């Protein structure tokens, strides 16, 4: 039987936030989550690594979840400047984003690296959110579904189950641009992702699939209503408590 998919609204703060403002933002989101008293959805914020511990401490007991934006594949060692999944866990994180297109572009991360990072998340007891998505050139060339399939097959480790995996579909051309695919385009991508997951994950029907790319309060209802969309991965709009909570409410 398919596992019930609890919607997840996740905020990716990216390289934004200094302590005072970040704590204020996290507390405002936590307050909204507390007031919402939601049992039917999960809300997560992923601050930059420097703030994970402070944010986790500030929102403790509120129901707001805290995650990392990336992790190294190894648990420790000579990797200057990197952060391990174990360190994120130690700082209070429960989730970690891996394979974001900005990591793939800025740091040349390939599917195999992303897969190793997802395994690292499991090793540390974190839930990985594995990101995939096509570029504009790939979409215009009609390669969207093929690209998603390749990324899924390369980025998801063996042993994945619905309880241990979240997948985020983020078309690269929709990130930070104000452009989004149409609802049928999102539904088609998500349906294909779920179909491909069927060959990788035993209980694929239970895997949560998030949409990301220019999600805001005003388009959240429409995007979240698309078939097979189980939540959102939010960038810019996650930096304003009201806007982010409006998306959480739209579930
Ligand atoms: P925007 O919501 O700013 O488009 O960013 C999406 C994103 O990359 C989330 O990971």
Q: Is the CB of 178 under 6 A from ligand 1?
A: no
- Across the range 46-59, mean pLDDT stands at 98
Any ligand 1 atom below 6 A from CB of 233:
yes
Residue 102 CA: which ligand 1 atom is closest?
A: 8
Respond yes or no: is residue 42 known to be catalytic. Answer: no
- Vertex 233 angle, CA 89 and 105, to 5°: 85
- Say if residue 208's pLDDT is above 80: yes
Decide whether any atom of ligand 1 lies within 6 Å of the 44 Cβ.
Answer: no
d(CA 138, CA 146): 9
Contact 123, 87 (CB under 8 A): no
| Each residue's pLDDT tens digit, 213-250 | 999 999 999 999 999 999 999 999 999 999 999 999 99
pLDDT band at 191 (very low <50, low <70, confident <90, very high): very high
Read off the pLDDT of each residue in 62-86 and give the average, rounded to a whole number: 98
Using CB atoms within 10 A of its CB, is residue 97 exposed (0-12), middle (13-18) or buried (19+)?
Answer: buried
Per-residue pLDDT tens digits for 90-127: 999 999 999 999 999 999 999 999 999 999 999 999 99
In a domain, 168, yes or no: yes
From 100, 119, 134, 243, the catalytic residue: 100
Q: What is the pLDDT of residues 125-178, one digit of tens each?
A: 999 999 999 999 999 999 999 999 999 999 999 999 999 999 999 999 999 999
What domain range is 192 assigned to?
Answer: 51-72+81-249
Mean pLDDT of 199-205: 97
Ligand 1: centre distance to CA 12 (Å): 7
Residue 171 confidence (pLDDT) = 98
Residue 2: what pLDDT?
46
Q: Is residue 2 part of a domain?
A: no
* Domain annotation covers residue 34: no
Q: Is residue 227 part of a domain?
A: yes
Residue 35 domain-assigned (yes or no) = no
Q: Please report whether residue 234 resides in a domain.
A: yes
Distance between CA atoms of residues 178 and 191, nearest Å = 23
Residue 100's nearest CA partner among 15, 190, 191 is 15
DSSP the chain: -PPP---EEEEE--S---HHHHHHHHHHHHHHHHHHT-SS-EEEEE--GGGHHHHHHHHTTSS-EEEES--BSSSSSS-TT--BHHHHHHHT-SEEEES-HHHHHHS---HHHHHHHHHHHHHHT-EEEEEE---HHHHHTT-HHHHHHHHHHHHSPTT--GGG-EEEE--GGGTTTS----HHHHHHHHHHHHHHHTTT-TTGGG-EEEEESS--HHHHHHHHTSTT--EEEESGGGGSHHHHHHHHHT-
User: What is the number of the ligand 1 atom nearest to the C-alpha of 212?
Assistant: 6
Degrees (nearest 5) of the Cα angle 249, 56, 91? 140
Task: Residue 197: give its domain's CATH number.
Answer: 3.20.20.70
Which among 147, 139, 208 is positioned nearest to 180, based on CA atoms? 139
Q: Is residue 39 part of a domain?
A: no
pLDDT band at 4 (very low <50, low <70, confident <90, very high): confident
Compute the mean pLDDT over every residue in the chain, rounded to the nearest whole number. Answer: 97
pLDDT (mean) for 183-211: 97
The number of folded domains in the chain is 1
Residue 87 within a domain: yes
User: Which residues, at least 6 apart from 166, have a Cβ–Cβ distance to it below 8 Å?
Assistant: 8, 95, 127, 128, 129, 130, 207, 208, 209, 210
Q: Decide whether any atom of ligand 1 lies within 6 Å of the 192 Cβ.
A: no
State the distance from the centre of ligand 1 to the C-alpha of 11, rounded, in angstroms. 8
The answer to whether residue 3 scores a pLDDT higher than 60 is: no
């Amino acid at each position: 039987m398919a596992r019930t998919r609890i919607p997840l609204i996740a905020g990716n703060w990216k390289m934004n936030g200094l302590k005072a403002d970040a704590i204020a933002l996290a507390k405002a989101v936590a307050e909204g989550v507390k007031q919402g008293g939601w049992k039917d959805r999960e809300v997560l914020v992923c601050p930059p690594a420097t703030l994970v511990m402070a944010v986790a401490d500030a929102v403790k007991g509120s129901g707001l979840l805290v995650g990392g934006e990336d992790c190294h594949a190894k648990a420790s060692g000579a990797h200057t400047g990197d952060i391990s999944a174990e360190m994120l866990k130690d700082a209070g994180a429960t989730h970690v984003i891996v394979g974001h297109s900005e990591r793939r572009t800025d740091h040349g991360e390939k599917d195999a690296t992303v897969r190793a990072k997802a395994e690292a998340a499991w090793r540390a007891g974190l839930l990985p959110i594995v990101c995939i998505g096509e570029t504009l050139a790939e979409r215009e060339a009609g390669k969207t579904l093929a690209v998603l399939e390749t990324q899924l097959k390369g980025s998801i480790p063996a042993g994945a189950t619905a309880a241990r995996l979240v997948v985020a579909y983020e078309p690269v051309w929709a990130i930070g641009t104000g452009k989004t695919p149409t609802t049928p385009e999102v539904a088609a991508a998500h349906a294909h992702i779920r179909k491909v997951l069927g060959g990788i994950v035993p209980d694929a029907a239970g895997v949560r699939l998030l949409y990301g790319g220019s999600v805001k309060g005003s388009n959240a209802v429409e995007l979240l209503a698309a078939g097979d969309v189980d939540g959102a991965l939010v960038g810019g709009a996650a930096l304003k408590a009201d806007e982010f909570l409006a998306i959480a409410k739209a579930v």
